[in-house]
Amino acid sequence: MQDYFYALSDHLYQQLKPAERLLANYQGEDSDFIRLNHGKIRQAGQVTQHYLTLELAQGASHLSSRLTLCGDMPMDLAAAQAVLARMRQQLPHVPDDPYLNLPSQPTASEHKATDLLPEAGETVSRILQQARGLDLVGYWASGVMRQGMTDSIGSRHWQSSHSFNLDWSCYQQGQAVKNNYAGRQWDETALVRKLEKDRQALDILQRSSTTLTPGVYRAYLAPAAMEEILGMLGWGDFGLKSQRTRRSALLPLLEGDRSFDAKVTLTEAPDRGLAATFTEQGFVVDQPVSLIEQGHFSQALVSPRSAMEYHEPMNCAHESPQSLRMQAGTLADEEILEALDTGVYISNLWYCNYSDRNHGRITGMTRFASFWVEKGKIIGPLSVIRFDDTLYRMLGDHLLALTAQRETRISPSSYDQRSSRSTTLPGGLLREIRLTL
């Protein structure tokens, strides 16, 4: 597909008029999707899709349009030429964009990942064998994702990545545990460990539940729960635009009024993730960006537009982390319950939202297999309860430890296409978290 995309782009560039500049971005995938219910395959299918986005620029004016490619050169070229003709008619009526930021010289990059994935059908059969006896509901997605970019000044970029994502829940007598296993290379032993934990959790969920009164409790947040907490910051808080317009929950951190614990180091690591290491404009963004260093603000994510607006160096395609990594701690997994002693073990959170963004206050609900622990032993499941606390308490004053083992999670989103967003996070032990109702 790389050669096809380059050839299609070159045909279009030959038809440009003086002073016109055309950028082409390609996104595509070949994916297997398998839906599971009651521990059986209920639906299986394959998705192959190719999208081309064209951006026509002249001076400081520009506009873009997206079309679907079918893989037949004459048909795709005719469709792209029609789109180009329409944009050419519309462009004179488009006002100048003061923050349009395009490379002045050609750029290039290429990264083709090795396919280490097993065959999807065979793998799912193994999954169902390992999950025998469980009422497992979920879906498997796997395959190759591709991104490409060319520019009429000569830029060429291409990236392909292979990954899998198994997202599931297990049900028993009205109770459920939720889990996820994703990555680039399949390891059945890792799945077996997760399913064994699911079985243990389902047994515990049959015990009488504990209903807590509002107050503060010692807590452990599993990596999935930590992802929900840090995911809130991904709503633009790391971005330069939101920080300069004072819409970021990190303002107290930026201004030195608050800090996180010294154990908190966050990095956007495009070289370790699945997302493209180049922008839609053709800038290369393959270097790590230190966001939080030992509890203190380090750098903002700066998109090409923000770089132009605020005269800062550009370091990302979008001002939201695509490959967020948090430095690991020292707490061993087998020591979590002992270190928690008495408190709440929170496996998942959902419905998270800001209750006071200016002060970094987040609210949300516990979800799926959260437990009450006494003296290092799980007593039983927790009734659903809401938390309302600040980032500066959870990741600051009250953060006691981070786990030595981290979990890589790839977003299971597939509404338009499979997501390439990923996180690599540890779990966190908190001195206290505020539970409200």
Which of helix, strand or coil describes residue 158?
Answer: strand
Burial group, residue 254, by CB count within 10 angstroms (0-12, 13-18, 19+): middle
Q: What is the pLDDT of residue 370?
A: 95
- What are the tens digits of pLDDT across the range 6-39? 999 999 999 999 999 999 999 999 999 999 999 9
- What are the tens digits of pLDDT across the range 208-231? 999 999 999 999 999 999 999 999
**Is residue 173 scored above 90 in pLDDT?**
no
**Is residue 174 scored above 90 in pLDDT?**
no
**Cβ(204)–Cβ(326) under 8 Å?**
no
Residues forming beta bridges with residue 350, ordered by sequence position = 365
Closest by alpha carbon to 1, among 56, 65, 66, 76? 76
Q: What is the mean pLDDT of residues 392-418?
A: 96
Q: What is the mean pLDDT of residues 238-244?
A: 98
Closest by alpha carbon to 251, among 358, 100, 400? 358
Q: What is the pLDDT of residue 428?
A: 99
Q: What is the mean pLDDT of residues 106-134?
A: 95
Q: What is the mean pLDDT of residues 84-97?
A: 98
CATH for 2-203 is 3.30.2290.10
User: Mean pLDDT in the chain?
Assistant: 96
Q: What residue ranges do the domains of the chain occupy? A: 2-203, 207-435
> Cα separation of 344 and 229, whole Å?
16
Distances (CA, A) of 385 to 106, 369, 437: 54, 12, 6
B/e letters for 126-138, b = 16+ CB within 10 Å, e = fewer, are ebeebbeebebbb
Q: What is the pLDDT of residue 236?
A: 87
pTM metric for this prediction: 0.95
Which of helix, strand or coil describes residue 163?
Answer: strand
**Cβ(287)–Cβ(273) under 8 Å?**
no
Q: What is the pLDDT of residue 367?
A: 83
Q: What is the pLDDT of residue 272?
A: 92
- What are the tens digits of pLDDT across the range 322-379? 999 999 999 999 999 999 999 999 999 999 999 999 999 999 999 889 999 999 999 9
Beta strands 156-172 and 108-112, pairing class: parallel
